[in-house]
Structure 1
């Protein structure tokens, strides 16, 4: 389907969503929408109270989170209009999906890639525990060795310095470094690859595989990543660096391939009890952290912008999609040359509700980009989560981006090459549908 017709489909579906409400619910459509928004607001408020209180208040808040949406559905059903709401929501979802598809070609293209010759001495490090044992499940070590790679499978019973293993491999003549493991292990080896300007290869054998997802790799079958060894192309991507303390040492730093988190999440992960009982630890610590009764008070300087008193900060190696209100989806590009910065500051139930309803337009969430970011606090040391690894670093913490320093080797054919999902813009969709129609009509007349 052409962009013109996709844009027209979006407009028709959006209009149909409203028509269904008005025709079948009449003036009651206004009541339906009001009840729906009220239920959503009560659910958000209940969620905030549940996270910021303990005891019987938390119990009542949990009941509200369940009762509010259930009550809305019961009211719709009692009025005999539940099907109307469901059909209208379905049409609206179709409208937004079609609209974003029509706008997709206006987004920036995928990262440029170049053909490369096959590596002569690839060296791969594999963590047998990552992803619940994907290395063994997919026979990654055996397959890689059959393709000519030297493979080191880490000993699960003792700690090994993967960065040192990578350095020794480079000294021994390795011309490609690869990792089958989690994002933290990937970051350590990627730093060595960037330092020596040799290609780095990712095998999606971790649990979340965020970096692999943004590279377009197959996360369901990590063995397909091994095609990089025989039919690969190369991407130039950015790396994030952390420098702790003042002044920042520009000659060294902690690498992050995904993001560095500060504040609420980092405080929770730092707790010794977190690994033993994650859910209980989160529920016990969140009330004090969200209401600022404990934990460091953060101050963020990103370029010319300053944000004080934030509860959580996420600094990412390239920004996440603008269409993702939470900012935790995917990065369309890893070569933009800018850090993504998300700061969350929510003080009450009303602000939590606004954040849920308005996403990035809510007052509680600040999203920006910058080449350098400084996170300071009213404490000499703060917990930091770097690609999922818990660290305790002296303040201030400087984050910077090194553009294009990492050469990433990926398969030529990848199932998840990001094309970008632009935020919905109804004015652009309407202009696209009508303008292209007029242009086509003019050409036909000529």
Structure 2
């Protein structure tokens, strides 16, 4: 059901877009206004094409492309300034930003997430803490002492133990909750054991990124607050992704990104390693990937991201947030860019032939190689082909604090036809 707030947001989006168009055409004139729009679009396309040359070439060509990346927006601004319309461009950009933000919020569903279940607090919680994760967050936030005061048993990792076996041993010793203070890779290993034994799982974001915690509605800057779940918490039933017999809570990546993560230098110098390796990964012969996701098939993508539930829509969907973690579906994002024209074509978003977005319950990746490097929640592993990804809906009981940040809100692409129907509707269901 569309409420009045959504309808007014839709009307604001249409109004802001209309004012931007009318302002440009009124001040610049119809022909000049259309020309300036084309100049802006050409500048964006040139910038994206130059990005491709920058990441896929070395030496003089790379630095020439870098110059174009910086020069393209400056050139567009100069053209507008010479026409005496720079202020118009700025105002129009602000209006379009308002239109897009309002339109997405109008079309977004009500903030939602997995249903909460009331369950008694654990009696014998067992927490596994990685003291090296996140630059030493465990020590910096004094998590060991705080958890111990709440009755938790604690095991500190030294980098040599089998994390999954530690979790299984804790269950055999009577643990009725398993928790992890560490990164997403460690979280996934223990989450798999928790799901296997049907015990609740506690997420303490003590790693570097902790995307799983973010999509659960947890505050990544407050790992101490997550311990509140031990005394005043609720349970969520969420999905686990599987790649072969290994679980993942966020995503599994194939192709260029997986090759980057495999490099020993990547963790210490991400930018430098990317600049050094990407030309070879994008332009030289690599194992050719073949993707099957539901009824969709794709030959030769350079990068594939399979996620535990789909990310929000858009070109950079894989780097956003997941509106839900209990949808029972895998998200699939595949990019195929072989030249500058393909890079510029990414401007078209979901209609671009360079980008494939799907959801599926099973994804199969094959290649002309017996082993493939795969990035699983940021950790690199080698897996025999074909690699099969599936989902286990609702198998993980996650215990979270009763009071926490809201889960992610879906931010769809703006469908202007649907937005117009919503703006002029009088209530009821939007179709």
TM value normalised by structure 1:
0.91
Within the candidate set 401, 410, 413, 1:423 is matched to: 413
State the alpha-carbon separation in 1 of the partners of residues 6 and 56 from structure 2.
46
Shift of 1:402: 1.0
> Contact 2:24–2:33 at 8 Å: present in 1 too?
yes
Deviations 1:399-444 (A, max 9, x none): 111111111111112113223223212222221221228x9xxxxx
State the alpha-carbon separation in 2 of the partners of residues 271 and 63 from structure 1.
28
State the alpha-carbon separation in 2 of the partners of residues 61 and 258 from structure 1.
34
State the alpha-carbon separation in 1 of the partners of residues 19 and 114 from structure 2.
38
The alignment status of 1:65 with 2:85, answered yes or no, reads no
- Using a 3 Å threshold, how does the CA distance of structure 1 residues 130 and 276 change in structure 2: closer, same or farther? closer
State the alpha-carbon separation in 2 of the partners of residues 50 and 418 from structure 1.
34
Deviations 1:15-63 (A, max 9, x none): 1111221222223221221111111111111111111211211121111
Within the candidate set 113, 122, 127, 1:124 is matched to: 127
Q: CA RMSD in A?
A: 1.7
Deviations 1:248-298 (A, max 9, x none): xxxxx111111111111111221234345433332222122212x232110
State the alpha-carbon separation in 2 of the partners of residues 86 and 276 from structure 1.
39
**For structure 2, which runs of at least 5 residues remain unmatched after alignment?**
none
The alignment status of 1:12 with 2:4, answered yes or no, reads no
> Contact 2:43–2:73 at 8 Å: present in 1 too?
yes
- Using a 3 Å threshold, how does the CA distance of structure 1 residues 163 and 344 change in structure 2: closer, same or farther? same
Match of 1:153 in 2: 156
The alignment status of 1:258 with 2:222, answered yes or no, reads no
Shift of 1:339: 1.0
Q: Where in structure 2 are the equivalents of 1:261-340 lying within 5 Å?
A: 261-291=253-283, 293-323=284-314, 325-340=316-331
Within the candidate set 16, 25, 39, 1:22 is matched to: 25
Within the candidate set 415, 420, 423, 1:433 is matched to: 423
> Contact 1:267–1:295 at 8 Å: present in 2 too?
no
The alignment partner of 1:319 has SS state of coil
State the alpha-carbon separation in 1 of the partners of residues 315 and 266 from structure 2.
28
**For structure 1, which runs of at least 5 residues remain unmatched after alignment?**
244-252, 440-446
The alignment status of 1:45 with 2:80, answered yes or no, reads no
State the alpha-carbon separation in 1 of the partners of residues 139 and 87 from structure 2.
49
State the alpha-carbon separation in 2 of the partners of residues 113 and 309 from structure 1.
42
Match of 2:81 in 1: 77
Shift of 1:366: 0.7
Within the candidate set 359, 366, 369, 1:379 is matched to: 369
The alignment partner of 2:331 has SS state of strand
Match of 1:442 in 2: none
Within the candidate set 364, 379, 382, 1:392 is matched to: 382
State the alpha-carbon separation in 2 of the partners of residues 381 and 427 from structure 1.
46
Deviations 1:220-267 (A, max 9, x none): 211111111111111111111122xxxxxxxxx111111111111111
The alignment partner of 1:320 has SS state of coil
The alignment partner of 2:403 has SS state of coil
